[in-house]
Amino acid sequence: MTSTLNSLLETFARIGATPDGGVCRLTGTSEDGQARALLAAEISGRQLALHVDPIGNMFGIASLAPSSKDAVVVGSHLDSQPTGGRFDGVYGVLAGLLAIEAVAARAAVEPGKARRNLALANWTNEEGARFQPSLTGSSVFAGTLALDDALALADGTGVTLGEALTAIGYRGTADLTLEPRRYVELHVEQGPLLEEEGVEIGVVTGCWAARKLSLVFHGEPSHTGPTRMARRRDALRAAARAIELHHCLIELSRTGAHASAARITVSPNSPNVTPSRVQVWFEFRHEDAAIARGLGDRFLAETRAAVASLGVDVEVAADEQRGTAALDPHGAALTASVARDLGFSLMEMKTIAGHDALALNKCVPASLIFVPSRDGLSHNPAEFTDETSLDKGLAVLTEVIWRLVTEE
């Protein structure tokens, strides 16, 4: 099994490979199309039935209990960040594929045991790098994002997600007809806790809250040469002040919150014109939703005050508040029990990053399993998890879905 998982990971890492050893496989690009085509071949090669839904989610179905419409769904995503690593997402899809193959083989030699079917899933645009918001395919599947709204999401050049999916031939026409009963996702941690604690398996019981505030700073264009300094209304200076203020506020709050300002657009972005419109995407993450919300409120008030003297107006373009959520307690208990049975150390933890499991959890009890990430590094070409750790995750996943498929 080991060699198969590793060789699959190697093969997929070549699609969209970057010179620094990472992967750039943005949703709806030709690299995404190539990775999807390869996954489709792997699905069909394992006698799983391939299905693509209208938002491009791909499924590989093992009919273990043909008389039932129920399914346990296992998956993650093949898309990556521009500076993506070789494990984020793709590990969960490929381990899911091999786990389903193993469970199907076991079901064949233990006839009558399987009570439910199995479906592998590759969710569209988990990363939200090219199209915002993230978790697009899983949110449409869960019914929390309208299909038409998702298809209409546009990238920085105006191309819509619907157009991009059509271009690569992965805009399906029919929803999955199976009824999802449980969802399980295996993922690299992307944080340092498992490595620091020397623990092999992370049982994720829930997620941090997040507040995502997108602000637009409105100034006025003018010539950067002769215009008097006091006459300028510089939206980039205002944005810069807000970015530094945002980081200082997080540090001074001593709440342990995580925060970022990672995306910015500037207009007209010409060296000789005072910037007149700047948009910045700010995030606040905390285990306590009230703290994430409060930090956002305070930041907004302080930002307005800090930039008023610059003659710049602040508009809230988006304010998305994600609360904390508990993942499936039954799935977590089952994962812990499987890990113990297999002799692996484990710990319960929360996820700070968003995952498709969180989107799915709104319509089906969902579980999330972590393996360690070296140095907690992710969204980075140096992202790394060793072979042994990857295999342990796969072993846990396989046994977890066997039990979910066979239990009463």
Q: Which residues bind a second copy (CB under 8 A)?
A: 81-83, 127-129, 132, 134, 189-192, 208, 210, 212, 220-229, 231-232, 234, 236-237, 239-241, 243-244, 247, 250-251, 258-264, 266-276, 281, 283, 285, 351-354, 376-381
**Cα separation of 370 and 348, whole Å?**
10
CB of 139 to a second copy, least distance (A): 15
Find, among 155, 165, 105, 108, the residue nearest to 132 by Cα. Answer: 155
DSSP string, 320-388: EEE--EE--HHHHHHHHHHHHHTT--EEEEEE-S--HHHHHTTTS-EEEEEE--GGG--SSTT----HH
List phi, psi (to 5°) of 351.
-95, 135
Cβ 20 to a second copy shortest distance, Å: 10
In the complex, least distance from residue 396 CB atom to a second copy, rounded to whole angstroms: 20
Closer of 101 and 185 to a second copy (Cβ): 185
Nearer to a second copy, 104 or 359 (CB): 359
Of 106 and 258, CB closest to a second copy: 258
364 phi, psi to nearest 5 deg:
-155, 140
Inter-axis angle of helices 329-341 and 387-406, nearest 10: 120
Name which of 196 and 407 has its Cβ closer to a second copy: 196
184 vs 235 by CB, closer to a second copy? 235
Q: Least distance (Å) from a second copy to the CB of residue 385?
A: 14
Q: Rounded distance, CA 397 to CA 408, Å?
A: 19
CB nearer to a second copy: give 114 or 135.
135
Q: Sign of dihedral through CA atoms 395, 397, 400, 404?
A: negative
Q: What does the alpha-carbon distance between residue 41 and residue 249 come to, in Å, rounded to a whole number? A: 50
Using the minimum distance from each CB to a second copy, give the nearer residue, 21 or 50: 21
Nearest CA to 320 out of 291, 296, 287 is that of: 296
Cβ 192 to a second copy shortest distance, Å? 7
Provide the minimum distance between the beta carbon of 33 and a second copy in the complex, in angstroms, as a whole number: 20
CB of 379 to a second copy, least distance (A): 4
